[in-house]
Amino acid sequence: MADPKIPTYSSLAAFLAHYHALKCSTRKPDDEQLFTSISAIIDALDPVDREALDSDVDDGAARRHRDRAELKLLRLLAARGIVTG
């Protein structure tokens, strides 16, 4: 079941785009609660996976690590009903 504080996203890309937008902007109180809820899910990943999600490095090894981290995150989100696609 989806967290009532977190909207449902059609894809992992949409979820990550929203997360990064919230992370890089000045947040209103409602957005702060949403960011906290989203961050709690991402915090369930290992630190190296969280780092891979935020990495701008795009060599082969970094890309594969980011892909694995995204798959782990997608599984977490799908289990919670947050990503439907």
Of 17, 6, 9, the closest CA to residue 84 belongs to 9
Torsion of CA 53, 24, 81, 79, to 10 degrees: 30
77 contacts: CB under 8 Å, gap ≥ 6: 9, 12, 15, 41, 83
**Which tens digit of pLDDT belongs to each residue from 2-39?**
555 889 999 999 999 999 999 888 888 888 999 999 99
**Boundaries of every domain in the chain:** 30-85
Tell me the whole-structure pTM to 2 decimals: 0.86
**Which tens digit of pLDDT belongs to each residue from 34-72?**
999 999 999 999 999 999 998 888 888 999 999 999 999
Residue 52, φ and ψ in degrees, nearest 5: -60, -35
